[in-house]
Amino acid sequence: MPKPASPSVAAYIDAQPAATQRALRKVRSAIRKAIPQAEETISYKIPAYKLNGRVIIFFAAWKEHYSIYPAGARLSDALQKELARYEQSKGTIRFPLDEPVPVTLITRIAKFRAKQTE
């Protein structure tokens, strides 16, 4: 049976295991500080941030990592050095849950995505 959508980003985070919650709270905080004017919402059953009605960044929890979406070629190229140590696939950056949250990098990703969609 599919997992029901969370009514809010806080509820989504609270539904995760304790260790995952700690990481996601840091991710959420970094995104909110980077783009304070963004509207926080749930889209596709995961946390999302909108500017001018358009989703610019998502994050999601998984068993052993959390991901940030979308991460296109321009973002990967612009932050190539910083992203080199993280697993990436088409549109996704995966961050291991057993490592410290790279708050500065997530801030840069959020700001880059906001600028891309201006």
In a domain, 3, yes or no: no
The pLDDT value given to residue 117:
80
CATH number at residue 52: 3.90.1150.200
Residue 43 to residue 58: CA distance in whole angstroms: 8
Q: Report the number of distinct structural domains present in the chain.
A: 1
Summarised one tens digit per residue, pLDDT across range 36-50 is 999 999 999 999 999
Domain that holds residue 71: 9-116
**What is the rounded CA–CA span in Å between residue 6 and residue 30?**
21
pTM of the shown model: 0.91
Q: Is residue 100 part of a domain?
A: yes
